[in-house]
Amino acid sequence: MIPIKMMSNNDLDFDSVIRFIEERDRFTLLSHISPDGDTLGAALALFRLLKKRGKTAEVVCANPVPKIYGFLPCSESVVMPESAVGYENVISVDCADMPRFGRAIRIFEAAKHTAVIDHHMTNPRFGEINLVVADAAATAEVIHELYKRMGVEVDEPAAICLYTGIVTDTGNLCYSNTTGNALRIIADFVDKKLVDVAELNRLIYRNVPYGKTRVQGFVNSNIQLEAGGMIGVATLTQAQMKSFDATNEDCEGIIDGIRDIDCVKIAIFIREGADGSYKVSLRSKGVGDVGRLAALHGGGGHEKAAGYTAHEPLSTVKADIVLQAHEELERVLGGENKAE
């Protein structure tokens, strides 16, 4: 069997995190707001690793676990910030920056010791210890490496969590961030019969609520094209969501549908939050660095997938990001980008 190796040479950072864990006993693991498969899968796999090493741990998220990820082992252990113990040692899992904690930020700020485990290239290294592997497909890939380096066996529940983190952050192993290492990890899980790929694929991708189908159809029918079709933009308000009995988690994947339009190079999806703010999701295809655009607004992510939260009126939020997407295409394409 081909050995599974981490892509980046982060040996010192791995050693620091391992010492951070081994020298302490009680941990709070923080996932990011609007939790996805990677932040939950990676955090729950790390939760199991800590338990196996005899540690006390909790997983905290400012939002409830989405129904789609309710199948994850130990998902019922995830608690809201108000119910958290808030141990003195906090590990951030898959959070590109501190605002991604939402209401749980107070737990990070009150911690005596902090560590960051992530794979977002825009991560500013805001912890006392920082393990950021920017060329990992997912933070779950980084947690898998921790299992190896700490000599902890990946059991079936941990494999399900790690598998979920990897496949959801790589678009079911279809995106350009899919690494050979990620494929080897999953192949190893399959060989050892730790995951049922068909069943997990059904749970993650083939179990769509009716409300999600309706709201995604509405958004798709109202996509606007800019820059001769190279920019695709769509918006969704709270009132529109409610008219379809849709929830925030039903909006997952909408941005990918915009990006998949054949002519689109930069996709923009702007969704209103319950507090009146706007979550701006960005994707690029072929050209354009949307991580750079998100950073202009205090957000973060990757070159081809990023996002941020805005608090201006919708018309302003939309106009600003469309203009910046125009400028980004002009930067990378020059004279080829001529808006119609």
pLDDT in tens, 170-212: 999 998 899 999 999 999 999 999 999 999 999 999 998 899 9
What is the predicted pLDDT for the residue at 340?
A: 41
Say yes or no to pLDDT of 8 above 90. no
Rg (Cα) of the chain, in Å, rounded? 20
pLDDT band at residue 276 under the 50/70/90 scheme: very high
What is the predicted pLDDT for the residue at 3?
A: 47
Do the domain assignments include residue 1? no
What is the predicted pLDDT for the residue at 336?
A: 55
Is the domain of 215 the same as that of 95? no
Residue-number span of the structural domain to which 150 is assigned: 11-205
pLDDT mean over 35-45: 97
Do the domain assignments include residue 4? no
Is the domain of 248 the same as that of 269? yes
Say yes or no to pLDDT of 339 above 50. no
Is the domain of 330 the same as that of 231? yes
Q: Which domain CATH number covers 20?
A: 3.90.1640.10
pLDDT mean over 96-101: 93
What is the predicted pLDDT for the residue at 262?
A: 96
Do the domain assignments include residue 146? yes
**Higher confidence at residue 175 or residue 65?**
65
Is the domain of 319 the same as that of 177? no
pLDDT mean over 147-157: 97
Is the domain of 200 the same as that of 55? yes
Supply 70's token pair. 């309710």
* Cα→Cα distances 320→168, 263, 311, 338, Å: 29, 21, 12, 18
Say yes or no to pLDDT of 227 above 80. yes
CA angle at 331 for the pair 328 and 336, rounded to the nearest 5°: 100
Do the domain assignments include residue 260? yes
Domain count, the chain: 2
Is the domain of 154 the same as that of 86? yes
Is the domain of 47 the same as that of 78? yes
pLDDT band at residue 155 under the 50/70/90 scheme: very high
Do the domain assignments include residue 250? yes
Is the domain of 99 the same as that of 131? yes
- Does the CA dihedral 189-195-200-204 come out positive or negative? negative
Is the domain of 156 the same as that of 230? no
Do the domain assignments include residue 19? yes
pLDDT > 70: percent of the chain: 96
Could you say which of 156, 190, 205 is where a domain stops? 205
What is the predicted pLDDT for the residue at 320?
A: 97
Do the domain assignments include residue 6? no
Do the domain assignments include residue 259? yes
Is the domain of 215 the same as that of 156? no
- What's the mean pLDDT when you consider all of the chain? 93
Is the domain of 198 the same as that of 249? no
Task: Quote the pTM value.
Answer: 0.84
Q: Which domain CATH number covers 220?
A: 3.10.310.30
pLDDT band at residue 2 under the 50/70/90 scheme: very low
**To which residue do tokens 């500013």 refer?**
124
pLDDT mean over 109-134: 96
pLDDT in tens, 109-121: 999 999 999 999 8
Could you say which of 171, 205, 239 is where a domain stops? 205
Is the domain of 40 the same as that of 134? yes
Could you say which of 156, 171, 205 is where a domain stops? 205
pLDDT mean over 17-45: 97
pLDDT > 90: percent of the chain: 89
